[in-house]
Amino acid sequence: MEKDTKGVSLDEFIFRKLQPIRILRGYLANELELCDGDEVRMNRQDLDNIVATVEIFLEEYDRVSAFRGRKNGANDRKKSFIDAKPQAIKAIA
C-alpha cells in the first residue's frame, strides 16, 4: 500500500518562505529609483508593512530552528538550515 502524504522539498519550502522578502526587495528597489537625491521618504503604513514582513520571515525561521532543536536534542551541535530534515518541513508546512 502506498502512502498518501504529499511532502514538500526543502527547495520548495525555502522558495515559498522567501517570496515575501523578494517582493519587499522589489518594492524597496522601486522606491529608491523614484527618489531624487539622498533622502528617501516613505509613509508610516508602508514602513509598518515592511517591518511586519521581516518579522514574519524571522518567526518562521525561528519556528523551524526550534523544531530542529527539539528533534535533535539540546546538546547537539547546530546544523545549517540546509541540513533540515524533510520530516521537519512536512510538519511545519
3-state secondary structure labels for all residues of 25-59: HHHHHHHHHHCCCCCCCCCHHHHHHHHHHHHHHHH
Q: What is the pLDDT of residue 1?
A: 45
Q: What is the pLDDT of residue 86?
A: 52
> How confident is the prediction for the chain on average, in pLDDT?
75
Q: What is the mean pLDDT of residues 36-46?
A: 89
pTM: 0.56
Q: What is the mean pLDDT of residues 65-73?
A: 66
Q: What is the pLDDT of residue 29?
A: 93
Q: What is the pLDDT of residue 10?
A: 72
